Amino acid sequence: MKKNIRLQSDKIVQTIERLEKRVADRFPDSGLRKIIHQFHTIAGSSKKNI
């Protein structure tokens, strides 16, 4: 296992964006989509603090 793991905030936000789009396409009115949208908002604001 690697000792030095670096999280890349850009990659994390891109992954969440792709996930949000996939869920929106399949389940447009689901609660899961709303949760992922909130997660995306949090990740975006956290990225500014890193």
41, part of any domain: yes
Number of domains in the chain: 1
C-alpha distances (whole Å) from 6 to each of 14, 34, 42, 48 are: 16, 28, 19, 16
Q: What is the pLDDT of residues 4-48, one digit of tens each?
A: 888 888 999 999 999 999 999 999 888 999 999 999 999 888 877
- pLDDT: is 49 or 13 the higher one? 13
pTM of the model: 0.75
Q: Domain residues for 44?
A: 9-49
2, part of any domain: no
35, part of any domain: yes
Number of C-beta neighbours around residue 48 at 10 A:
7
1, part of any domain: no
CB-based contact 20:36 (threshold 8 Å): yes
The predicted pLDDT at position 1 comes to: 63
The predicted pLDDT at position 2 comes to: 67
